[in-house]
Chains A and B, each alone.
Chain A
Amino acid sequence: MSKIINNVVCPICGCLCDDLEVTVKNNEIVKMKNGCAVCEAKMVHGYKSEERILKPMIRKNGKLEPVSMDEAVKKAAQILTDAKYPLLFGWSSTVNEAQRIGVELAEELGSALDNCCSVCHGPSVMATQEVGIPAATLGQIRHRADLIVYWACNPWTSHPRHVERYTAFTDGRFEGSEWKSYMNKMKASASRKKMDIASKRIEREEAQINPQVEVNGPPPQTLQKPGRKMIVVDVRKTMSAEAADYFMQIEPNRDYDVIEALRCIVQDQELDVEKVGGVPVEYLREVADAMMKCEFGVIYFGLGMTQSLGRFRNIEVAIALARDLNRKTKFIISPMRGHFNVTGANQVFAWQTGYPYAIDFSQGYPQFNPGENTAVDLLKREDNDATLVISADPGAHFPSVVMKNMMKHPLITINPDMNAISRLGDVVFPTQWCGIEYVGTAYRMDSVPITLKKVVEAPPGVLTDEELLSKILAEVREIKKKRGLPVGLTEQKIVHTEPIEPPRVCPAPVTKPKPKKVVKKKKEAA
């Protein structure tokens, strides 16, 4: 018996596409429609991989050995409570409901709490804290944008459906898809390529000296015309760049200069150089013109900007450019958030503590200090003496000195499968795949909350992140109590059944509320 489930949400990238059609047979996903290749890889195959962890494990004599859930929870709680200053890191691929418990756990432990954003779009958050940001939800782009700029990112591979679902290749109320013109262009370029190859062969045959190829030609005239246009700015020609109306290649680490140059042009200032970041100023002028002339423009930027020279200053100046452009037209700028719920981690942390990441609870209240409390910096200084990693794989991404320091102290991991970090763990928990095996909330890159669905049952005995963290938190409180330490109150779990009381029929308000006799005993003034 197979069943089809509609409107399933893809728990992979910040696009959070919510239109998947999933076919389930014998508690297994067998088919998926509408999603991209990345999505198919995980939803149909990846989640049931052989690397799946099914039982909690504890490292004994250097080897991971399966143990009972109780034992693992006790051990993890012991490690966390014994540590003077643990670090809880990850959170970008789990749901808000789990992140909420995470904050409570960090508070109870007086630990450090950080999410993956500190190694991806942390600089974007910092820039926003400096200058704000003119942003909009993705639908606003779909309906209105006639100029779409991807800067230092490659949606084609990192967010495969971003272009087709939300920006250049989608039909909006006021702007149509650019798909047709793209197809025409591709056809043209295909034949051009053929011609090129042919002519090159002739050239070679004629043993001519190859003329210097101008990689970065001038912007096409179409940039100044109405209708949707897409520009890609990057240091190398990516797939996304191929699809763009104009690809502006800039020298590595020169984003700041190029954006500042564009700002100057937008503000009508003279530039007395010929090139900026490898791009001739005339070209920049045309790009700036297109930006000023459009009805609604948007810049999406990626890690190429946040993690290259200048870091959050790059973002700051890019935001300033978008802000300046709002004096001429409508202009939006937004980060391409990567993991499907890294945005949610920022949101949950912020509403519970005031800060989006890099939080320290050691003083009994939240403190924020990126560059100090961020996971990498903390580990580099070897400030923490235990680490819990949840729904992330720093094993694959962190610098090796940092990893070395992490390994000097106990490590607890919570991940569905045996990724690099789980292999290194001292206590290794299995967990359910959120969005496949359990329900929860995630925030799209534009902070639109979307409910992830459950489509199959989890393997028996494997808990959700939320359940697991609650267990660890409860155990931590037990241990602290035994040691005579004060502990916080456990939040009453309220079962979401509606209505709690029989629905109350609220009468229409009367013009004058009839005075009710209040209380019987009236006392004379003493």
Chain B
Amino acid sequence: MTEILIKNGFVVDPLNKINCEKMDIAIKNGKVVAKVNEKNAQVIDAAGLTVMAGGVDIHSHVAGAEVNMGRMIRPEDHYKDPVRKTALTRCGTGYSIPSTFVTGYRYSEMGYTSVFNGSVAALKAKHAHEELNDIPLMDKATYILTGDWWFVLENLAKGDVDECARLVAWLMRATKGYAIKIVNPGGLESWGFGRNVHSIDDPVPNFGITPREIMRGLIKVNKKLNMPHTIHLHTNNLGVPGNYQTTLDTMKAFEDLSTDGKPVAHITHIQFASFKGENWGKFKSGAEEIAKYMNAHNHMTLDMGQVTFSDTTTMTADGPFEFSLYELGGHNKWVNSDVETESSGGIIPFHYKKNSPVNALQWSIGLEIALLIKDPWKIFMTTDHPNGGPFYDYPKVLAWLYSKKAREATLKKCHKSAKKKSLLPSIDRELSLYEIAIMTRAGTAKALGLPDKGHLGVGADADVAIFNINPETLDISQKFRTARKAFANAAYTIKDGTIVVKDGQVVNSQIPGRTFWVDAETKDPCKIDDEMKRKFRDYWTIEFENYPVTDHYVKVSDRLERKASV
């Protein structure tokens, strides 16, 4: 293994409370070490550059059945973004849903080194892993749709949290999953018959349970299993005007579950869950209320789900949401993809436009929340790729966060009613590099429970991003375009101790990255007896033995062992 010495960079490492200090980072055997012998090491002169840990994306749809269906139905999306084969890299296509290899390259070119896949139905988990294996240069993991899994619904309805926990532990192991994902709890099961739930206390047809009970139950399960991440939640009523109230109800419903001041739930793409107003005509921002609540409470984390004004593809397990989006009109493609006993799903291509009052305000809402929440450890930067925009728009999102000037430049072009309703003109906050590092790597790594990621302390994984930004000479808030370019094209990206990107170009594509998955060891395993297998045969159309994701499907496996308390 090569040794690397990154010399004289401005290190931004919030987990170790280092803020733009000039120092060296030494790397050996894929880890950050105290020092290396300069003579043997490959030296990177980082003078005048900013050095951060590799980016950790907490929510992005990069692999699996839904993502691939999106690819398949959008040739017109790929035509405009062909990617040539080179001696080092495979060819492929973008745009909004890039092919797997291109996904890896483009993340890496922005200094990202880990990506967490937004949602996967357990029955199709093998598919997601097959695709993750084809995403080079990245560590990865996938969340598993658990909230409408029949065994969960049945056991929580019975009030048997312990048995539910044992089954979820089995599920994570069987799917090589990383976290409990809940999407529109109860809504996905209801969608099986074309219905939906409309509040957290709406009963789920046929199951005698409410979304509130599902979410609270799974938070308890999550704790019992001592999972690295909290539950990962896509709230009820997503994308519906007035839903900020549902979101607040949801957050309030968890208050008593955090006993140690630690977060118990992560609400993803909060922008889509912060709409005010009774209908689309009266559409308003609920950002203030959400931010106010978040500033007063510590039991939640969020990610943005920022809209970036692009021609993109929306995709979610929230089947009823996608259908209602289709019913709003103006779309010619609608995919629905229900998965027996577990989930639903939907896809609609979507072009967010500045001159649409709703889209423009959505853009504003995402930024408002991120800027109004004072503590950057509570909200992370995402676009819910590709739902709000493709992940390669991250540098744009960052620019809007660190530069009021950038915000104003965009707001100027927005629809006038959105301009009037936007809170952005009243917000002066401009994020520092330190805060950006929190929202893109340190905070996400912490929320995901990854002790070796998101920082550059001794023992950390040698995933490093170096940007052509000199904090002493470049005022990023003024020269936001220069900084944006720097974030789009990392000067260097180092993955597992190997330089993989230089000057925004992939120079080594052969680092496969690892797949994290959680193996929670329960005191008693869940009962897999004949009765369970029989049930399994009734519930699914494949045999119990053929359900699990075997080792065959994980190229480089990284098992996280957890001790459960049940």
A residues in contact (CB < 8 Å) with B: 6-7, 9, 18-19, 96, 100, 104, 107, 125, 128-140, 142-144, 165-166, 171, 173-174, 295-296, 323, 326-327, 329-330, 332, 346-348, 350-356, 361, 363-368, 439, 441, 443, 447-451, 486-489, 491-492, 494, 496-501, 503-509, 511, 513, 515-526
Q: A450-B546, A491-B510 are in contact. List 16 more A-B contacts (CB 8 A).
A: A9-B546, A107-B90, A133-B336, A142-B340, A174-B193, A329-B194, A330-B192, A350-B71, A365-B85, A368-B79, A441-B553, A513-B455, A515-B15, A515-B457, A516-B459, A520-B24
Q: Are A517 and B457 in contact (CB under 8 A)?
A: yes
Distance between Cα atoms of A134 and B334 in the complex (Å): 7
User: Which chain A residue shows the least CB distance to B74?
Assistant: A129
B22: which of A100, A135, A348, A525 is its contact (CB, 8 Å)? Answer: A525
B522-565 CB contacts (< 8 Å) to partner A: 538-543, 545-546, 550-562
B100: which of A104, A351, A496 is its contact (CB, 8 Å)? Answer: A351
A174-B206, A350-B72, A509-B451 given as contacts; is B559 within 8 A of A489 (CB)?
Answer: no
Residues of B within 8 A of A351 (CB): 63, 67-68, 71, 99-100, 130-131, 134
Rounded to whole Å, the gap between the CB of B550 and the closest CB of chain A is 7
- Listed by A's residue number, 6 A-B pairs whose Cβ atoms lie within 8 Å are A7-B545, A133-B336, A140-B340, A332-B336, A363-B82, A497-B551
Residues of A within 8 A of B333 (CB): 129-132
Q: Does B317 lie at the interface of the complex (its beta carbon under 8 Å from any beta carbon of A)?
A: no
Q: Are A135 and B92 in contact (CB under 8 A)?
A: no
Distance between Cα atoms of A158 and B545 in the complex (Å): 27
B543: which of A7, A447, A489, A509 is its contact (CB, 8 Å)? Answer: A7
Count of A-B contacts judged by CB separation below 8 Å: 297
A139-B341, A365-B83, A449-B126 given as contacts; is B550 within 8 A of A513 (CB)?
Answer: no
User: Which chain A residue shows the least CB distance to B191?
Assistant: A330
Q: Are B332 and A131 in contact (CB under 8 A)?
A: yes
Q: Does B211 lie at the interface of the complex (its beta carbon under 8 Å from any beta carbon of A)?
A: no
A488-B85, A498-B551, A515-B17 given as contacts; is B23 within 8 A of A503 (CB)?
Answer: no
Q: Are B82 and A511 in contact (CB under 8 A)?
A: no
A329-B194, A498-B554, A506-B228 given as contacts; is B75 within 8 A of A129 (CB)?
Answer: yes
Rounded to whole Å, the gap between the CB of A21 and the closest CB of chain B is 11
Q: Are A496 and B555 in contact (CB under 8 A)?
A: yes
B61-78 CB contacts (< 8 Å) to partner A: 63, 65, 67-69, 71-75, 78
Interface band, chain B? 35 or more
B91: which of A365, A368, A449, A515 is its contact (CB, 8 Å)? Answer: A365
Residues of B within 8 A of A171 (CB): 538
Contact indicator per residue, chain B 448-479, by CB within 8 Å of chain A (1) or not (0): 01110001111100000000000010000000
Rounded to whole Å, the gap between the CB of A454 and the closest CB of chain B is 12
Q: Does B494 lie at the interface of the complex (its beta carbon under 8 Å from any beta carbon of A)?
A: no
Residues of B within 8 A of A447 (CB): 65, 69, 124, 127
User: Which chain B residue shows the least CB distance to A110?
Assistant: B85
Q: Are B134 and A448 in contact (CB under 8 A)?
A: no
For the complex of A and B, the 3 pairs showing the least CB-CB separation, nearest first, are A139-B340, A516-B457, A354-B93
A174-B206, A451-B546, A515-B17 given as contacts; is B68 within 8 A of A365 (CB)?
Answer: no
User: Which chain A residue shows the least CB distance to B99?
Assistant: A354
Q: Are B336 and A524 in contact (CB under 8 A)?
A: no
Distance between Cα atoms of A11 and B550 in the complex (Å): 19
Residues of B within 8 A of A346 (CB): 72
A125: which of B72, B131, B226, B538 is its contact (CB, 8 Å)? Answer: B72
Q: Are B99 and A449 in contact (CB under 8 A)?
A: no
Q: Are A326 and B323 in contact (CB under 8 A)?
A: yes
Q: Are A330 and B23 in contact (CB under 8 A)?
A: no
Distance between Cα atoms of A499 and B558 in the complex (Å): 7
Residues of B within 8 A of A6 (CB): 543, 545
Q: Are A513 and B556 in contact (CB under 8 A)?
A: no
Q: Are B341 and A135 in contact (CB under 8 A)?
A: no
Distance between Cα atoms of A495 and B26 in the complex (Å): 30
Rounded to whole Å, the gap between the CB of A422 and the closest CB of chain B is 29
Residues of A within 8 A of B23 (CB): 518-519, 521-523
Q: Are A7 and B337 in contact (CB under 8 A)?
A: no
User: Which chain A residue shows the least CB distance to B331?
Assistant: A132
A131-B333, A351-B134 given as contacts; is B446 within 8 A of A143 (CB)?
Answer: no
Residues of A within 8 A of B450 (CB): 506
A130-B332, A353-B93 given as contacts; is B130 within 8 A of A449 (CB)?
Answer: yes
Rounded to whole Å, the gap between the CB of B312 and the closest CB of chain A is 15
Q: Are A128 and B92 in contact (CB under 8 A)?
A: no
Q: Does B35 lie at the interface of the complex (its beta carbon under 8 Å from any beta carbon of A)?
A: yes
Rounded to whole Å, the gap between the CB of B205 and the closest CB of chain A is 10
Residues of B within 8 A of A443 (CB): 127
Q: Does B25 lie at the interface of the complex (its beta carbon under 8 Å from any beta carbon of A)?
A: yes
Most buried by A among B72, B333, B560: B72
Distance between Cα atoms of A361 and B93 in the complex (Å): 12
A140-B192, A329-B194, A518-B456 given as contacts; is B75 within 8 A of A355 (CB)?
Answer: yes
Q: Does B338 lie at the interface of the complex (its beta carbon under 8 Å from any beta carbon of A)?
A: yes
Residues of B within 8 A of A174 (CB): 193, 206
Distance between Cα atoms of A525 and B21 in the complex (Å): 9
B72: which of A128, A136, A503 is its contact (CB, 8 Å)? Answer: A128
B24: which of A9, A501, A519 is its contact (CB, 8 Å)? Answer: A519
Q: Are A511 and B22 in contact (CB under 8 A)?
A: no
Q: Are B546 and A128 in contact (CB under 8 A)?
A: no
Q: Does B512 lie at the interface of the complex (its beta carbon under 8 Å from any beta carbon of A)?
A: yes
Rounded to whole Å, the gap between the CB of B229 and the closest CB of chain A is 9
Residues of B within 8 A of A132 (CB): 73, 332-336, 347-348
Most buried by B among A100, A132, A507: A132
Q: Are B340 and A137 in contact (CB under 8 A)?
A: yes
Residues of B within 8 A of A9 (CB): 546
Distance between Cα atoms of A173 and B193 in the complex (Å): 13
Rounded to whole Å, the gap between the CB of A35 and the closest CB of chain B is 14
A330-B192, A346-B72, A516-B16 given as contacts; is B124 within 8 A of A448 (CB)?
Answer: yes
Q: Are A507 and B194 in contact (CB under 8 A)?
A: no
A135-B336, A364-B85, A519-B35 given as contacts; is B91 within 8 A of A19 (CB)?
Answer: no
Distance between Cα atoms of A147 and B245 in the complex (Å): 39
Rounded to whole Å, the gap between the CB of A33 and the closest CB of chain B is 14
Distance between Cα atoms of A43 and B24 in the complex (Å): 64
Most buried by A among B13, B91, B261, B556: B91
Residues of A within 8 A of B107 (CB): none
Q: Are B91 and A361 in contact (CB under 8 A)?
A: yes
Q: Are A368 and B78 in contact (CB under 8 A)?
A: yes
Q: Does B412 lie at the interface of the complex (its beta carbon under 8 Å from any beta carbon of A)?
A: no
Distance between Cα atoms of A426 and B260 in the complex (Å): 72
Q: Does B432 lie at the interface of the complex (its beta carbon under 8 Å from any beta carbon of A)?
A: no
Q: Are A352 and B134 in contact (CB under 8 A)?
A: yes
A18-B546, A509-B451, A513-B15 given as contacts; is B90 within 8 A of A330 (CB)?
Answer: no
User: Which chain A residue shows the least CB distance to B541?
Assistant: A139
Residues of B within 8 A of A501 (CB): 558
Residues of B within 8 A of A500 (CB): 514, 556-558
Q: Does B87 lie at the interface of the complex (its beta carbon under 8 Å from any beta carbon of A)?
A: yes
User: Which chain B residue shows the least CB distance to A347?
Assistant: B68
Distance between Cα atoms of A441 and B97 in the complex (Å): 23
Distance between Cα atoms of A498 and B548 in the complex (Å): 15
Q: Are B193 and A296 in contact (CB under 8 A)?
A: yes
Q: Does B253 lie at the interface of the complex (its beta carbon under 8 Å from any beta carbon of A)?
A: no
B190-245 CB contacts (< 8 Å) to partner A: 192-194, 206, 226, 228
Distance between Cα atoms of A443 and B134 in the complex (Å): 17
User: Which chain B residue shows the least CB distance to A100?
Assistant: B134
Rounded to whole Å, the gap between the CB of B527 and the closest CB of chain A is 20
Rounded to whole Å, the gap between the CB of A497 and the closest CB of chain B is 7
User: Which chain A residue shows the least CB distance to B123?
Assistant: A448
Q: Are B84 and A364 in contact (CB under 8 A)?
A: yes
Rounded to whole Å, the gap between the CB of B165 and the closest CB of chain A is 16
Distance between Cα atoms of A149 and B385 in the complex (Å): 37
Q: Are B194 and A330 in contact (CB under 8 A)?
A: yes
A487-B87, A515-B457 given as contacts; is B557 within 8 A of A143 (CB)?
Answer: no
Distance between Cα atoms of A361 and B68 in the complex (Å): 20
A132-B334, A498-B557 given as contacts; is B192 within 8 A of A144 (CB)?
Answer: yes
